[in-house]
Amino acid sequence: MNKEIEIIVYKWEGEFFPFKIKTICGECSLSIRIIKSIIERVEQKDGIKVKLIEKPWLNNWYKVLHKKGWHAPIILINNRLISQGDVIHQEQLLHEIYTEYFKNYSIDSENNYIFTLPNCQYCKKAKELLDNSNISYIELNVLEDSKNMRKLLSLVQHKVHPITLPQIFLEGRWIKGYEELKILNEKYKL
């Protein structure tokens, strides 16, 4: 995935005839520092490219009003309002960046994938069944790499609740978990 995420922060500053903002916004300054810190983290750790744009709110109030943004700092990710009027929380920002980055993630149809957890008995059984059926697969451990959890959420969070593991994809088709794989094997002899 090579898409860039754009974060726009509308800060409490600027001018719009006859008004001019002369006060410093502490929430804006702190939010900018948090955003820069998170951008550095996701770029180094995950290779996610993020572009930060800072704009004065008063010069641009009419551009964000239709997005229901009226209280600086107003923070948009890829033109979607995620926060306003308060300091952005680190975890919220990380969640929004990852959600945006993996929004259109899809499994390719040429490989088989199994999302797993360490020490998960059903994951172990599913891998054994696939191994015994000589079906090659790519294991994506959601605990060892948080990107794998984001990928999984992007794929199934609106289809199943709660999300259990393993989650299995064969040639791009979602099988669900171990029980469904076992039934499929009994029926079609994988």
- According to DSSP, residue 63 is labeled H
Residues 15 and 94 in one domain: yes
Residues 174 and 85 in one domain: no
Q: What are phi and psi of 77, to 5 degrees?
A: -115, 120
Residue 108 lies in a domain: no
- The CATH number covering residue 57 comes to 3.40.30.10
Q: Which of 75, 101, 127 is the last residue of a domain?
A: 101
Q: What are 112-169's pLDDT values in tens digits? A: 999 999 999 999 999 999 999 999 999 999 999 888 998 999 999 888 888 999 999 9
Contacts of 141 by beta carbon, 8 Å cutoff, 6+ apart: 115, 116, 117, 118, 148
Percentage of the chain exceeding pLDDT 90: 84
For residue 73, the enclosing domain spans 4-101
Q: Is the pLDDT of residue 181 over 90?
A: yes
Distance CA 25, CA 190 (A): 62
Residues 89 and 130 in one domain: no
Q: What are 35-53's pLDDT values in tens digits? A: 999 999 999 988 999 999 9
Report which of 151, 146, 152, 141 is spatially closest to residue 117, judged by C-alpha positions: 141
Residues 42 and 66 in one domain: yes
Q: What are 70-107's pLDDT values in tens digits? A: 999 999 999 999 999 999 999 999 989 999 999 889 99
Q: Which amino acid is at 34?
A: I
